[in-house]
Amino acid sequence: MIIRPISDDEKRSRLPEFYWDKEVFALPLWRQDDHKLMFYFIEAETMVYAQSLIEEGKEVVGYHLVIYVSVLSDEAVQGHEVYLGPVVDSFRELKGWDAKISQYPNVFEIHFDMDSGEKQDVEQALKEVEEALLLLSLKNRKGFHISSYSPGERFRHQPISINFGLTETRLEGLSAGEIGRFGKLPKEDNIIKALNALRFIYSQVNHIAKITVCWVTIEDLFGHSKATHILTPKEINQLSATINNMDLDPQRKSILLSKIRDSSFFSRRTRNERIAERISDLLGQDLDMVKMELKDMSKTRGRLVHSISMSDSDIRSHLEFTEKILLKYLSNLEA
């Protein structure tokens, strides 16, 4: 609700002559049958009262919560329709939820009408649905996830609620120039690998999968440089001779000698440092900055992967960094 001064035309068309030479304010209170109920006033005291009505009108007195549940599976990704009828029926019969198949493909909705304005009631409903979806995923061996929800707040002076559905993403088609340029691109293994890596990254639907593909791609394209041993050949031979003279059983001695000669085990630079050098040369970017980017990505990946974390870690910078690397890599190969 917004208080506004009204025009002279509105004064003359809507109010008695007494108000025509005064500053009049209007406060819309209600909409019913497409007609606006308007509260007009001139006194300062009424302004204060009107402001209190506005603040009172902001109070949430209930919710019409709509939860959208998506199915993630091979069938859904391949364009098959997943029949959700039995799922919806079970929720209606066993949980008493107002569940229904959505207009969106492979999605069903659960509606909750709440007469309380307590936000924790919405959070509790989301928690209960999430728990049910875990069981549903195990039973059907498909991934059921809350893809979105619309709380549908009802305010004190607005007894209707407004819900928002799932957003629509607009995609772009190809241009003749892009098709022609792609046709001239050499179909070498590394080019196809980089193109597939980008497509695979874009295809993932959760943070764990996205950052894992990013890391695997970087290691695959830039992690095959030969390690330089931290010791010289002479120093390796001297150390080997010392080990041979030690009182060790043959098996332990053989393992130790093989490790001493392994340049990947005793490298001047770690594998990640060698990867960072190659990426730094590719991008023309400061080596220390690249090392920092890779270190941060590795930490985020470890946090997500090694704990099966449900954390909402922001991985956008890592995705953008990987995309930047791959696009530059493709650009250089194309040239």
Kindly state whether residues 73 and 134 are assigned to the same domain.
yes
Residue 34, pLDDT score = 58
Residue 188 pLDDT > 80: no
Kindly state whether residues 22 and 115 are assigned to the same domain.
no
Kindly state whether residues 49 and 78 are assigned to the same domain.
no
Residue 70 pLDDT > 80: yes
Residue 320, pLDDT score = 92
Q: State the residue range of the domain holding 90.
A: 60-155
Element (H, E) at 35: strand 35-41
Residue 199 pLDDT > 70: yes
Kindly state whether residues 313 and 218 are assigned to the same domain.
yes
The tokens describing 246, both together, are 């030690």
In a domain, 119, yes or no: yes
Give the total residue count for the chain.
Answer: 335
Confidence band, pLDDT 50/70/90 cuts, at residue 275: very high
Residue 51 pLDDT > 80: no
What average pLDDT does range 299-303 have in this prediction? 85
List Cα–Cα distances, 103 to 52, 70, 77, 93, 165, in angstroms: 41, 12, 18, 21, 10
Kindly give, in sequence order, each residue whose CB lies less than 8 Å from that of residue 133, ignoring residues fewer than 6 positions away.
69, 144, 145, 146
CA 51, 52, 53: angle at the middle one, nearest 5? 90
Kindly state whether residues 48 and 64 are assigned to the same domain.
no
Exposure of 324 by Cβ count < 10 A (0-12 exposed, 13-18 middle, 19+ buried)?
A: middle
Residue 54, pLDDT score = 65
Residue 184 pLDDT > 90: no
Residue 80 pLDDT > 90: no
What end-to-end distance do the CA atoms of the chain give, in Å?
60
Kindly state whether residues 29 and 130 are assigned to the same domain.
no
Query: What is the rounded distance in angstroms from the CA atom of residue 196 to the CA atom of residue 283?
Result: 21
Query: What is the rounded distance in angstroms from the CA atom of residue 95 to the CA atom of residue 163?
Result: 23
Residue 73 pLDDT > 60: yes
Kindly state whether residues 283 and 212 are assigned to the same domain.
yes
Kindly state whether residues 64 and 10 are assigned to the same domain.
no
Kindly state whether residues 293 and 313 are assigned to the same domain.
yes
Amino acid at 76: A
Long-range CB contacts (< 8 A, 24+ apart) of 165-173? 165/68, 165/103, 165/104, 166/68, 166/104, 166/107
In a domain, 95, yes or no: yes
Residue 141 backbone zone (phi > 0: left; psi -120 to 50: alpha; other: beta): left
Residue 96, pLDDT score = 93
CA 13, 15, 20: angle at the middle one, nearest 5? 90
Q: For residue 73, what is the domain's CATH number?
A: 3.30.70
Residue 160 pLDDT > 70: no
Residue 131 pLDDT > 80: yes
Give CA torsion, residues 324, 330, 333, 334, to 10 deg: -120
Residue 271, pLDDT score = 86
Residue 283 pLDDT > 90: yes
What average pLDDT does range 64-71 have in this prediction? 92
Confidence band, pLDDT 50/70/90 cuts, at residue 124: very high
In a domain, 255, yes or no: no
Residue 158, pLDDT score = 66
Residue 301 and residue 207 in contact, taking contact as beta carbons nearer than 8 Å? no
Report which of residues 335 and 82 the model is more confident about: 82
Kindly state whether residues 76 and 216 are assigned to the same domain.
no
In a domain, 232, yes or no: no
Under DSSP, the state recorded for 227 is P
Which of 40, 57, 74 corresponds to the end of one domain? 57
* Whole-angstrom Cα Rg for the chain: 32
Report which of residues 25 and 122 the model is more confident about: 122
Kindly state whether residues 96 and 214 are assigned to the same domain.
no
Residue 116 pLDDT > 60: yes
In a domain, 37, yes or no: yes
In a domain, 140, yes or no: yes
Query: What is the rounded distance in angstroms from the CA atom of residue 82 to the CA atom of residue 70?
Result: 10
In a domain, 260, yes or no: no
pLDDT digits (tens, 9 = 90+) for 208-238: 888 888 999 999 889 888 878 888 888 888 8
Lowest mean pLDDT of 60-74, 163-177, 221-235, name the range.
163-177
Query: What is the rounded distance in angstroms from the CA atom of residue 186 to the CA atom of residue 141?
Result: 41
Which of 155, 189, 218 corresponds to the end of one domain? 155
Confidence band, pLDDT 50/70/90 cuts, at residue 177: confident
Kindly state whether residues 106 and 134 are assigned to the same domain.
yes
What is the value of pTM for the model shown?
0.62
Which of 103, 126, 155 corresponds to the end of one domain? 155
Q: Report residue 37: phi and psi, to 5°.
A: -95, 115
Long-range CB contacts (< 8 A, 24+ apart) of 252-260? 260/236
Per the structure, the count of domains in the chain is 3
In a domain, 307, yes or no: yes
The tokens describing 45, both together, are 């005291």
